[in-house]
Amino acid sequence: MFGIYLKRELGRRKKAALVIALGLALGIALVITVNSVSAGMTQAQDKVLQSLYGLGTDMTVTKARTAPTGNSSGGPRFEFDASADDDDDAEQSSDRVMTQGGQALKAALVTQVAGQKGVAAAVGALTLNVTKVDGSFTQGKAQSSTGGSGNGGQGGPGGGNGGGSTAAPQVQGGGASFDVNSYSVAGVDVTDQDLGPLAGSKITSGVTFTSAQTNAKVAVVSKAYAKENSYKAGSSLKISGTTYKIIGIATPDSSDSTTDVYLPLKQAQTLGDAADQVTMIYVKATDSQQIDTVKAAIQKNISGTTVTTSADLAETVSGSLSTASNLATSVGKWLSVAVLVAAFLVAALLTSSAVSRRVREFGTLKALGWPSRRVTRQVVGESMVNGLLGGALGIGLGLAAAYTVTAISPKLTAELGGTGGGGGMGGPGGGPGRQSASNTMEIALSAPVSLTTIALAVGLAVAGGLIAGAMGGWRASRMRPADALRSVS
């Protein structure tokens, strides 16, 4: 009886039921869209942090670089061979290798950090910047010009008959043409590659380092750097007079890597004249809920260091990614709440208004013996069907909106600012001419819809139906059979 009457009444009031369902659908669709976009923002930010930190890294330990002392500026210095025996237009080349990312730390600190309570693993890495200058000098030619006429002799002090004169020689032609190329190098602890600068990339060509290659002259290069210089597995790379064999090409799992070349840590230390030193220590905590505690312990027990967590780094992310994330988090969620409240209110008012127009119907049913609870149940049942219909429409609209965002994949920029600590938590890279590029990334936004979001939408649909049904049922339960008699004309 309940189902038959419910079906008949909803069929009679299709327009009113559709209006209520559409109102709820719009609110639910907006909630799904905002939640999915917010999830996409979180994923995009995680991609930025993983590409800089390396997968699985909870924090890094660095030390702020001190200002140069004395007359040293700390800038690059290049020296070229100026031997007189060199041929004209001889090629000249010089590499300048400098540590990047903060003041060097003793490698022994890696073991000390690993021994702190709450630390699951710690590995050291050395970040270098190589500036290569190559080109050639062209020697100019000295040419003299003769003025006047006569026999070209030089006149003596007295003048005499030597009327000709010769001007001072002038250098014609000559000059220099040099190319400057800057790229980043990261020293990797090959015995533990689950942390560190190479952890956020996968080898797509060739192989990665083995634990036995702690001091081997081998290298892994990033996909972008390999493409730029036409490198492949098996090619050779020469840095500051040392030739390295490229054994693999690394492709970042997310975003663009800021490191061009990866070397075994000992080789990087030799290249950078930084024996037993690292510039960054990557740390993984035993419990993700205790990261702040581990950070405080490291800073307390190892003085002079700066510990930066992923949360600290996330606070420095700016650009359109940060702006869109703030809008989705604040404006979007408050707008969703406002629309939902309005949708629930409209559904309740429309249901209550519909009950008012059914005075004769409900009054007659009560006169026939229907108790108030049965009338209330009938109204709530109709509202629940309207709510579930609105939920289904809302989920469909929300999924369509999320799919559209993912299909369009709008590009967002993420800029990494300094953390105020050590020297650049922007990860390996940077250096002359690359600082801006290494700290700015472009991320494609997606809008994933989780099962939790779908469950939330269903819950909102049920809640909307219950609220509307409760208000309409309360009004219907207060009607008396006499009301139906008074409404008869």
Higher-pLDDT residue of 368, 78: 368
* Residue 341: pLDDT band with limits 50, 70, 90: confident
* Residue 346: pLDDT band with limits 50, 70, 90: confident
Of 345, 347, 339, the C-alpha closest to 17 is 347
- Cα–Cα distance for residue pair 273/269, rounded to 1 Å: 6
3-state secondary structure of 413: strand
- Cα–Cα distance for residue pair 394/31, rounded to 1 Å: 9
Kind of pairing between the strands at 242-252 and 218-222: parallel
pLDDT in tens, 269-301: 999 888 999 998 999 888 878 888 999 999 888
Under the phi-then-psi rule, with left for phi > 0, alpha for psi from -120 to 50, and beta for the rest, what region is 139?
A: beta
pLDDT for position 435:
36
Residue 287 exposed, middle or buried by CB count within 10 Å (0-12, 13-18, 19+):
exposed
pLDDT in tens, 136-169: 656 666 666 655 444 444 444 544 454 555 566 7
3-state secondary structure of 163: coil
Domain ranges of the chain: 2-51+320-410+445-487, 91-133+179-304
pLDDT for position 249:
94
Strands (E), 59-174: 59-62, 91-99, 105-106, 119-138, 141-143, 146-147, 165-166, 170-172
The 8-class DSSP code of residue 162 comes to -
